[in-house]
Structure 1
Amino acid sequence: MSIKPLYRSCDSQGASQRSDELRTYAASLIPTLKARAAETARLGYLPSETIQDLEAGGLFGLTTPRKYGGEPVSTRAFLDIVTELGRGDTSVAWVVTLLNVSTWGAATFFGEEAADEVFGGNQPARVAGVLTPRKAVVKKVDGGFLIEEGLWGFNSGIYHANWDMLSIPIVDADGKVLDYGFAMVPKADVEILNDWNVVAIQGSGSSSVAVKNLFVPDSRVTPLSRSIGGDYPSTHLADESLFRTANMPLAALVLTFPALGNGYAALETFIASLPRRGIQYTGYSKQDEAPVTHLQLGEASAKLDAARALLTSHADALDTWAASGQYMPFDDRAKVRRDVGFAEKLIWEAVDLLASASGGSLAAATNPLTKIWQDARMASLHGFVVPNTNFETYGRILCGKEPGTLFI
C-alpha cells in the first residue's frame, strides 16, 4: 500500500510546477534508496551512486539563490520533497535536509562578498554546518579571526559538502566574547574525524570535525544574534523571499521532515507485512483480521497526519511572512518551536506503536521496521525537536518569564 502525499506546495504557478517535479523525482528514488539502505548504513555516509541521483534531480539545490543559478523552493515544498526521501531512507533525507538548510544559512547570514565566494565556485555550493562547538579557541587578528583550535560534533553531511559553517565565539582583541556566530570555511580546511559509529541514521555521516590555526576573514564571519533577529546581511538577495524566512523556526522545523517521511515508511512497511503475519497465541492467523490491528493503524495514521498538518501549517506561515517582507513575530516563532516538539512526539509515538505491534520480529536486524524504529528514536532526540525542551520554553513564555533560550 502506498501512502500518497496529503498536501501540495503552494508556490506561484511556475514554482509550484517545479516543486511538484522535485517531489515526484524524490518519490521515484524510494525503491532505490531502500535497496541501498544496508550499504548506506555500512558506509556511514551516502554512496556515490546516491549522491549522483540526488544531484541529477536537483535535490541539493533546494535553497540555492536564483542569483547564483539556483531554483529555490518554498518551505512547504521543502517539506514535501524531504518527506518523500524519508520514506526511502531517513539517512538520505537527513543529509539532504541538513545540507540544504546550511546552504540557506550560507546565503542568508553573510554579505555578498562571502556569498560570491561560496556560490561562485566551479562546483555548486553544498554547505554543512554545526550550531554549537564542543571547543573553539578563537583570536581576533587583523582582517579576521584565527581559530587556534576547534572541535565540532554531529557535522551531518560533511562528507558530501564543499563548505562548512561552524559556530565560534566572536571575540575582541582582548579575547572578550562579544557574541557567538558562524565562520564559513572551505571543507578542505576541515579535518573529518570519522567517528560516526551509531545504531541509527547511520548513513548521515554526522562525524565530528576539527580545525587548527585556521584564519577566517571578516567577510566570512557573521554574528548569531543578528541572524536570530532577522537582520540579515544578504541585501543582495532582497528580491528572493526564501532568504527572508525566520531563522530559528526554519532550522527547527526542517529537522522534522526526515522523521515525518520515516513515519510514513513505518506505516507502509507495517501494512505490507500484515498478509504474512498472524498474532501468536491467539485465534488470529492473519494480523489484519484483528480489531486491535485496526485500532493501531487508525491511531498511528492519525498521529502522522496530524503531525503533517501541523508542520504544513507552520511551513506555510513561514513562507507567508517571508513573502510579506516582515519578520515573523516572536510569539509565532515560539509556537513553531513548541509545535515542532509536539509533531516529533506524534511521529515517534506512531512509529513506536507500529513497531510494538510487530512483536518479537522487531528483534531481527533484517526486519526493515527495526531500522525505521531506530531511526525514528534517534531523530526525536535532536536538541531542537525534543518535546519537553520545547514545551518548557513555550510554557515559560506563557507564564510571563524569559524563554531561557536565544534560539527562537
Structure 2
Amino acid sequence: MSQAVLDGVRDLLPTFRERAEETEALRVVPEASIKELEETGFFKLLQPKRFDGHEADPVAFYTAVRDIASACGSTGWVSSVVGVHPWQVALFADEAQQAVWGEDTNVRLSSSYAPTGKATVTDGGYILSGKWSFSSGCDHCSWVLLGGLVFTEEGQIVDFKTFMVPREKYTIVDVWNMVGLAGTGSNDIVVEDVFIPEAFTLSMGETGQCRGPGQEQNTSDLYKLPFHSIFTGTITTPIIGMAMGAYEEHVEMQQKRTRAAYLGEKASLDPFSAVRIARASSEIDAAWALLVNNIREEQDYVAKGEKIPLKTRLKVRRDQVLGSQRAIDAIDALFEASGGRALTKGTYLQRAWRDAHAGRVHAANDPERALQMFGAHEFGHKIDPGMY
C-alpha cells in the first residue's frame, strides 16, 4: 500500500508546482491540495491499521514528504508536520485515540510543542491555558497537540506533557505573514482555562523512553521508535526535498543559460559550474542517506527487541541537524551560481532559498545544542535521554 501512496503523491507533484505561488498568496496550503493528499492515503501512512491506517515504514513517509517539498516547500512542510501526528496519537491512551478517529479516520491534527502554555493539576486531569505559535497547517485540522509544563497548586513544575485539544476548545489567531514558508498557515493557538482529561495527555518523559499507553493497542515496532528521532526527521526531510527541487531547477536553468559576461559561453560548459553541482548533489545525497540509514539502525534494534543505545539516538539528532544544514548549504550554492534569473518571481530556486532558511530557524534545527549533546556523551558526560 505504501508504494501506491508514493505513486499517487508523485502524480500530484506537477499540480503542486503550479499551485506554489497561489499557496504563498493564500498563506495556507490550498484545500484542494490537502484533499488530493488525503485521497492518496498520505495522511494515514503512520496511522494505526485499526484506524484504517497503513502503519508504514517511516522511510516511506519521509520519501513522500521529500517529493512533495521538491514541488512546493510550504506544501511539503505542512504535509510533514501534519502527517507525522498520527504516529504520536497512537501512543496516547485508547480513549484519546477513539475520540480522534472513532467516527472519522480522516481527522487531522496540528501541533505546537514549545511549552509556552501552563497546565495545573486538578481532579481527573489538568486546566490548560496559554498561547502557542507556529502551528503549521492548523486551518486544515480539527485537533491540536500542545506542549505545556505541568504545575501543582503550589507552583511546582512536575512534568512536561503534550495535551490533545479538540477544535471547539481553542482559537486560531491569524498572524502568519512571513517571507519563508509563507504558505504554511503556521498561526497561533490560544487556549483559555480548558479542562484536559488525563487520558488526553502524554508525558514527554515517557515518550523519551519510547513508551506510551497506546502501545497496548498499537503493538507495531513503528510505535517503539524514539519520538525525537521520528519528529525531528519531519523537519529535515522537507528541507532536503527543497534542495532536490532547487537542484533540478538549477541544472535545467544552466543548460539553457548563456553567460554574456563570458562572451556568450553556455553555462553548462563552464567547468566550475560542473564542480558546483557535483558538490551540491553530494551534500543533498549525504543528508538523505544519513537520515535513512539512522532510522534503519534504530529499526534494527527495535526488531531485535533491544533498547536503542543513547549514542545511536544522539547520532540521529547529530545527523538530522547537519542534514538540514547540508541541504541549505546546497541551496545557497545553487542559488548563488544561478545568475539573476533565479531572482525571478515564480522560480522554484528563490522560493526554496526563502523556505529552507525559514525552516532552519525551527527549534529542531538548532545545531549547537544537538551537536553539544553528542559530543558531551562522547566525552562520558551524563545526558538526559528524555529530550533526545
TM-score for the superposition, normalised by structure 1: 0.90
In structure 2, what is the equivalent of residue 12 of structure 1?
none
**Corresponding letter in the other structure for 1:102:** H
Q: What SS class does the counterpart of residue 252 from structure 2 fall into? A: helix
* Structure 2 portions without partners, runs of 5+: none
Q: What is the CA distance between 1:284 and its match in structure 2?
A: 4.3
State the distance in 2 between where 1:179 and 1:139 align: 10
**Residue 5 (structure 2) pairs with residue 25 (structure 1):** no
Instruction: Determine if contact 1:244/1:322 at 8 Å carries over to the other structure.
Output: yes
Q: What is the CA distance between 1:324 and its match in structure 2?
A: 3.3
Aligned structure 1 segments of 4 or more residues deviating by more than 6 angstroms: none
Q: What is the CA distance between 1:322 and its match in structure 2?
A: 3.4
Instruction: Determine if contact 1:75/1:316 at 8 Å carries over to the other structure.
Output: no
Q: What SS class does the counterpart of residue 182 from structure 1 fall into? A: strand
Write out per-residue CA displacement over residues 125-157 of structure 1, whole angstroms, 9 at most, x where no aligned residue.
3121121133x233222221112x311111112
Map 1:377-388 to 2 at 5 A: 377-388=357-368
In structure 2, what is the equivalent of residue 5 of structure 1?
none
Write out per-residue CA displacement over residues 134-181 of structure 1, whole angstroms, 9 at most, x where no aligned residue.
3x233222221112x311111112111121111111223433210110
In structure 2, what is the equivalent of residue 47 of structure 1?
30
Write out per-residue CA displacement over residues 26-65 of structure 1, whole angstroms, 9 at most, x where no aligned residue.
1111110000001111111111110111111011111110
Cα pair distance change 1:328/1:394, threshold 3 Å: same
Cα pair distance change 1:113/1:325, threshold 3 Å: farther
* Structure 1 portions without partners, runs of 5+: 1-17
Cα pair distance change 1:254/1:325, threshold 3 Å: farther
Q: What is the CA distance between 1:245 and its match in structure 2?
A: 1.3
Instruction: Determine if contact 2:144/2:167 at 8 Å carries over to the other structure.
Output: yes
Cα pair distance change 1:81/1:367, threshold 3 Å: closer
Residue in structure 2 matching 1:84, options 67, 72, 84: 67
Instruction: Determine if contact 1:103/1:128 at 8 Å carries over to the other structure.
Output: no
**Corresponding letter in the other structure for 1:387:** P
Name the stretch that deviates more: 321-330 or 57-66. Answer: 321-330
**Residue 96 (structure 2) pairs with residue 114 (structure 1):** yes
Map 1:60-75 to 2 at 5 A: 60-75=43-58
State the distance in 2 between where 1:354 and 1:204 align: 24
Q: What SS class does the counterpart of residue 174 from structure 1 fall into? A: coil
In structure 2, what is the equivalent of residue 57 of structure 1?
40
Instruction: Determine if contact 2:107/2:142 at 8 Å carries over to the other structure.
Output: yes
Over the residues paired in the alignment, what is the CA RMSD in angstroms? 1.7
**Residue 157 (structure 2) pairs with residue 146 (structure 1):** no
TM-score for the superposition, normalised by structure 2: 0.95
**Residue 220 (structure 2) pairs with residue 220 (structure 1):** no
In structure 2, what is the equivalent of residue 186 of structure 1?
166
State the distance in 2 between where 1:104 and 1:322 align: 16
Instruction: Determine if contact 1:250/1:318 at 8 Å carries over to the other structure.
Output: no
Instruction: Determine if contact 2:37/2:43 at 8 Å carries over to the other structure.
Output: yes
In structure 2, what is the equivalent of residue 361 of structure 1?
341
Q: What SS class does the counterpart of residue 154 from structure 1 fall into? A: strand
Count of equivalent residues: 388
State the distance in 2 between where 1:112 and 1:273 align: 52
Map 1:158-237 to 2 at 5 A: 158-237=138-217
Instruction: Determine if contact 1:146/1:214 at 8 Å carries over to the other structure.
Output: yes
Q: What is the CA distance between 1:272 and its match in structure 2?
A: 1.4
Q: What SS class does the counterpart of residue 196 from structure 2 fall into? A: strand
**Residue 269 (structure 2) pairs with residue 286 (structure 1):** no
In structure 2, what is the equivalent of residue 348 of structure 1?
328
Q: What is the CA distance between 1:238 and its match in structure 2?
A: 4.4
Instruction: Determine if contact 1:44/1:205 at 8 Å carries over to the other structure.
Output: yes
Q: What is the CA distance between 1:185 and its match in structure 2?
A: 0.6
Write out per-residue CA displacement over residues 223-269 of structure 1, whole angstroms, 9 at most, x where no aligned residue.
21111111221133343221111111111122111111111101111
State the distance in 1 between where 2:137 and 2:348 align: 23
Q: What is the CA distance between 1:101 and its match in structure 2?
A: 1.8
Write out per-residue CA displacement over residues 82-110 of structure 1, whole angstroms, 9 at most, x where no aligned residue.
111111111111111111222211111x1
State the distance in 2 between where 1:153 and 1:170 align: 19
Aligned-pair identity in percent equals 26
State the distance in 1 between where 2:301 and 2:232 align: 17
State the distance in 2 between where 1:321 and 1:190 align: 40
In structure 1, what is the equivalent of residue 108 of structure 2?
126
Q: What SS class does the counterpart of residue 134 from structure 2 fall into? A: coil
Name the stretch that deviates more: 365-374 or 152-161. Answer: 365-374
Name the stretch that deviates more: 216-225 or 122-131. Answer: 122-131
Write out per-residue CA displacement over residues 306-357 of structure 1, whole angstroms, 9 at most, x where no aligned residue.
1111111012123333333434221110000101122112111111110000
Cα pair distance change 1:356/1:257, threshold 3 Å: same
In structure 1, what is the equivalent of residue 87 of structure 2?
104
In structure 1, what is the equivalent of residue 251 of structure 2?
271
State the distance in 2 between where 1:232 and 1:181 align: 12
Q: What SS class does the counterpart of residue 198 from structure 1 fall into? A: coil
Write out per-residue CA displacement over residues 256-307 of structure 1, whole angstroms, 9 at most, x where no aligned residue.
1111111110111111112331224113431111111111111111111111
In structure 2, what is the equivalent of residue 7 of structure 1?
none
Cα pair distance change 1:64/1:78, threshold 3 Å: same
Residue in structure 2 matching 1:334, options 306, 311, 314: 314
Q: What SS class does the counterpart of residue 46 from structure 1 fall into? A: coil
Instruction: Determine if contact 2:44/2:52 at 8 Å carries over to the other structure.
Output: no
State the distance in 1 between where 2:321 and 2:120 align: 37
Instruction: Determine if contact 1:65/1:237 at 8 Å carries over to the other structure.
Output: no
Q: What SS class does the counterpart of residue 133 from structure 1 fall into? A: strand
